[in-house]
């Protein structure tokens, strides 16, 4: 069939010398800007976007792919090294990645993230090539009730992320959902939960939320331990950065599972890519060989979600381009950039502009490959960041966070909001609430409400639609089983918990509040 011709043509466009050079430039710039703490992928891409404006559409798109990967890669660095996740999926990477960093294993964690994300990208590219025409229709089969239930399942998966209790994870998810509703309600124009602050009318700034809850909270925690330089890496030879052969083997299955999860969920627009790394993390926590190490730094917990996240990014191009429904905010920005270059999404994009579609898929893959060769030798340089004594590192990190948050909307209010969430983060962590599920709830809140309303509208107000639609019903059954299992496990643990209570990692205090 001509599809192979289209694929070949796409690759040949993407591999011209000029385009390879642009991709290389994009990857390099994306990494350099993206690795600055406080500048998440979305900011990095937004800052670098204007560079591509005067290129022709295909070249611009290829450079964008490079920037996208560079930014994503830079984002996973800051998540692993400094606990500064700029996206929801990086919040998952940070769970195990940062624990590894604190144990001086930042090198293997970063290398694993890079390799796993490359593997996930490759597998998903193959999936897109072989199944793209068939997959385009799958997304259309998803009705509002199904979306609602998928989001519900994703949120339940996120509750199981927590090192503490399932119920506390559930609390965090609901708090996230509620915070996500801040701002103007699209259906009625009602401004909700803005507490009279003009700065909240457009909703809470995600970056302020993420940087506050994770980055600022972590700095305060470390300083309370008097800023010890734990996790100092002393050797920066490439050999010491690499995971050992056995660690490498242990990560193969998580990468494969993560790629499968990401490839499937990526096709579902909206919630899919966001949920995928959470689902992968929970899967590995339950099934991988190293599940006992989860929570204290498990490479499997970095490998699975990174593979899943990147696989989902690849397959999410199908709904992004055919339905115009981006998978997450970063993809939404990419889509916007493509539209600036005259590429309008729609069902015809794959049939009418096959070269462009495949050039995009090809350039994403090449961007990913280039990143691998460009950055593996440089891992030592990024990890060296951790050799800076913490007392010099944290003021710099704070400054980057503040400037990064401010530059998003030139809003001093957002910076102050970061401090508010920093305080909330400290209280949450002290109280045993893990903040990662909150982020997922925050992102999915508006989407969940929207589909909830639409489903009820379709069923004429009868909530039974959530259990009569087959896809929705099966997703809800899985979610119900997960809830039942987790509550049972919590209950059992409770019995044995008294002598072995969960301890947040701080033991220096002398007084109590």
Partner 1 sequence: MTSRSNMPARKVLPPILMIGFAVVYGGISLTYPLGTVLRPGPGMFPLLLSVALLGVAGVLLWIGDADEIIWSSAMLRPSILILGSIVAFGLSIETLGLVPAILAMSVLAMLGRVGARPREVVGLTAFLIVISVSIFVLGLGLQLDLMWR
Q: Which is nearer to partner 1, 178 or 323 (CB)?
A: 178
Rg of the chain in Å (alpha carbons) = 22
Q: How far apart are CA 333 and CA 322, in angstroms?
A: 16
User: At closest approach, how far in Å is the CB of 429 from partner 1?
Assistant: 9
Q: Which is nearer to partner 1, 167 or 381 (CB)?
A: 167
Q: Which is nearer to partner 1, 220 or 478 (CB)?
A: 220
User: At closest approach, how far in Å is the CB of 487 from partner 1?
Assistant: 9
What are 191's strand-pairing partners? 184
User: At closest approach, how far in Å is the CB of 158 from partner 1?
Assistant: 14
Place of tokens 């969430």: 421
User: At closest approach, how far in Å is the CB of 69 from partner 1?
Assistant: 19
Give the containing element (helix H, strand E) for 192. Answer: strand 191-192
Task: For residue 458, count CB atoms less than 10 angstroms from its CB and return exposed for 0-12, middle for 13-18, buried for 19 or more.
Answer: middle
User: At closest approach, how far in Å is the CB of 507 from partner 1?
Assistant: 6
Q: Which is nearer to partner 1, 185 or 240 (CB)?
A: 185
Contacts of 512 (CB under 8 A, 6+ apart): none
Q: Which is nearer to partner 1, 358 or 394 (CB)?
A: 394
Query: Within 13 Å of residue 327, how many CA atoms lie on the same side as its CB?
Result: 30
Terminal Cα distance for the chain, rounded: 71
The answer for 41, left when phi > 0, alpha when psi is -120 to 50, beta otherwise, is: alpha
Q: Which is nearer to partner 1, 2 or 190 (CB)?
A: 190
User: CA angle, 416 as apex, 412 and 421 as ends, to 5°?
Assistant: 140
Q: Collapse the DSSP code of 184 into the 3-class scheme (helix H, G, I; strand E, B; otherwise coil) and give the result.
A: strand
User: At closest approach, how far in Å is the CB of 196 from partner 1?
Assistant: 12
User: At closest approach, how far in Å is the CB of 440 from partner 1?
Assistant: 14
Q: Which is nearer to partner 1, 7 or 398 (CB)?
A: 398
33 contacts 66 by C-beta, under 8 angstroms: no
355 contacts 173 by C-beta, under 8 angstroms: no
């Amino acid at each position: 069939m001509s599809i192979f011709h289209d694929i070949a043509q796409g690759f040949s466009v993407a591999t011209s010398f000029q385009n390879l050079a642009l991709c290389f430039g994009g990857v390099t710039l994306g990494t350099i800007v993206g690795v600055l703490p406080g500048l998440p992928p979305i900011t990095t891409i937004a800052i670098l976007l204007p560079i591509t404006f005067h290129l022709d559409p295909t070249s611009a798109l290829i450079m964008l792919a490079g920037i996208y990967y560079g930014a994503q890669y830079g984002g996973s660095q800051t998540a692993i090294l400094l606990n500064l996740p700029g996206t929801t999926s990086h919040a998952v990477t940070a769970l195990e990645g940062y624990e590894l960093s604190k144990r001086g294993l930042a090198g293997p964690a970063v290398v694993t993230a890079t390799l796993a994300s490359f593997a996930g990208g490759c597998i998903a590219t193959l999936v897109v090539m072989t199944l793209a025409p068939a997959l385009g229709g799958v997304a259309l089969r998803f009705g509002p009730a199904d979306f609602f239930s998928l989001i519900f399942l994703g949120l339940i998966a996120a509750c199981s992320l927590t090192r503490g209790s399932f119920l506390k994870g559930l609390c965090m998810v609901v708090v996230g959902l509620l915070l996500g509703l801040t701002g103007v309600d699209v259906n009625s124009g009602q401004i909700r939960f803005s507490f009279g602050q003009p700065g909240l009318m457009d909703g809470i700034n995600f970056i302020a939320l993420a940087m506050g809850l994770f980055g600022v909270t972590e700095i305060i925690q470390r300083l309370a331990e008097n800023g010890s330089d734990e996790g100092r890496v002393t050797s920066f030879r490439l050999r010491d950065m690499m995971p050992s052969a056995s660690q490498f083997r242990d990560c193969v299955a998580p990468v494969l599972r993560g790629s499968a999860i990401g490839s499937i969920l990526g096709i579902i627009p909206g919630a899919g890519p966001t949920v995928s790394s959470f689902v992968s993390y929970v899967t590995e926590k339950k099934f991988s060989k190293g599940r006992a190490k989860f929570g204290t730094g498990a490479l499997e917990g970095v490998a699975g979600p990174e593979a899943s996240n990147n696989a989902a990014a690849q397959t999410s191009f199908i709904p992004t381009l055919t339905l115009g429904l981006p998978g997450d905010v970063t993809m939404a920005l990419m889509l916007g950039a493509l539209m600036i270059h005259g590429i309008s999404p729609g069902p015809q994009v794959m049939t009418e502009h096959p070269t462009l579609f495949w050039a995009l898929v090809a350039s994403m893959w090449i961007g990913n490959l280039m990143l691998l060769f460009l950055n593996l030798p440089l891992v030592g340089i990024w990890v060296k960041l951790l050799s800076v004594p913490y007392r010099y590192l944290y003021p710099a990190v704070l400054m980057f966070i503040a400037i990064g948050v401010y530059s998003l909307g030139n809003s001093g209010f957002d910076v102050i909001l970061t401090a508010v969430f920093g305080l909330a983060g400290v209280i949450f962590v002290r109280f045993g609430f893990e903040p990662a599920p909150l982020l997922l709830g925050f992102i999915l809140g508006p989407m969940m409400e929207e589909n909830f309303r639409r489903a009820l509208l379709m069923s004429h107000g009868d909530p039974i639609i959530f259990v009569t639609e087959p896809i929705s019903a099966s997703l809800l059954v899985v979610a119900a089983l997960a809830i039942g299992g987790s509550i049972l496990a919590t209950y059992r643990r409770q019995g044995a918990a008294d002598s072995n209570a969960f301890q947040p990692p701080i033991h220096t205090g002398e007084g109590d509040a």
